[in-house]
Amino acid sequence: MKLIPLILAAFGATAAQAADSIIVQSTTSTANSGLYEAILPTFKDTSGITVNVVAVGTGQAIRNAENCDGDVLLVHAKPSEEKFVASGGGLERTDLMYNDFVVVGPANDPAQVASATNITDALTKIANAGTLFTSRGDDSGTHKKERVLWAAANLTPADASGTWYRETGSGMGATLNAAVGMGAYTLTDRATWISFQNKSDFKILLEGDETLFNQYGVILVNPDKCPNVDATSGQAFIDWLLSDAGQSAIAGYKLDGQQLFFPNAPK
């Protein structure tokens, strides 16, 4: 099933060419966590609309939406989302749900990140120790957040690219696999971490800093700019996500007893 939306997007197909279906350009974290598999059947049963998800990094998802390759955008980089709307690429952006980012690393914790008082302190310890850190390096929402955090700490890890700072250019799962393989630290969204199977001895070493808040938003691609957008079906999906039923479905998705996303759509 996951190959179908990728093929559709590659050929520029949209909901107008596939009756009762829409394409959602999505961040990988929502897809990799299993959220869509959990909630989309309920939406399909109530609406008759099939949702095809294209899961890529947030930056690429926005670019795809700008190219009219989709009906709905669901990502997690609010400044970029607002820019997308302001440029006319999408209609109103609405908060949908949130979780947080965490720093994970090996149990022996060579940079002593677990003793850090906040994320700035943690990143400073990593940089000063020159311990390995894997970055997605792919312009995803997580990568965008990571760059903001390094900048706030007055650090430029890109100067150390290829030494202790390793950019994978890959999704979160692949980056976590690389981190585990190298014994490196990395920044990940909590949902992907919970659902990640290859943890080895890795654990969360830094969490709870308010700057690690991770907000997701949802946007209808502008049908005036992209006439092939199925605005009716796309808006129906958005309305369901924001409704009590959709928000309850999001809140009800758990793995190992842990809630992965917390709905916060405006009432």
- DSSP per-residue letters across 71-114: SEEEES-HHHHHHHHHTTSEEEEEEEEEEEEEEEE-TT-TT-GG
- Indicate the SS3 state at residue 160: helix
pLDDT at residue number 19: 53
Kindly report the pTM of this predicted structure.
Answer: 0.89
User: What pLDDT shows up at residue 18?
Assistant: 42
Q: What is the pLDDT of residues 191-208, one digit of tens each?
A: 999 999 999 999 999 999
Q: Which pLDDT belongs to residue 267? A: 85
Phi, psi of 37 (to 5 degrees): -60, -30
Domains and CATH numbers, the chain: 3-98+215-263 (3.40.190.10), 100-212 (3.40.190.10)
Nearest-angstrom CA–CA distance, 38 and 192: 15
User: pLDDT tens digits for 154-184?
Assistant: 999 999 999 999 999 999 999 999 999 999 9
Closest Cα partner for 149 from 187, 111, 183, 117? 187
Is the pLDDT confidence value at 46 over 80?
yes
Q: For the segment 101-131, what is each residue's pLDDT rounded down to a tens digit?
A: 999 999 999 999 999 999 999 999 999 999 9
Q: Is 114 exposed, middle or buried (0-12, 13-18, 19+ CB in 10 A)?
A: middle
Least confident range from 16-20, 75-79, 88-92, 179-183: namely: 16-20
How many other CB atoms sit within 10 Å of the CB of residue 201?
10
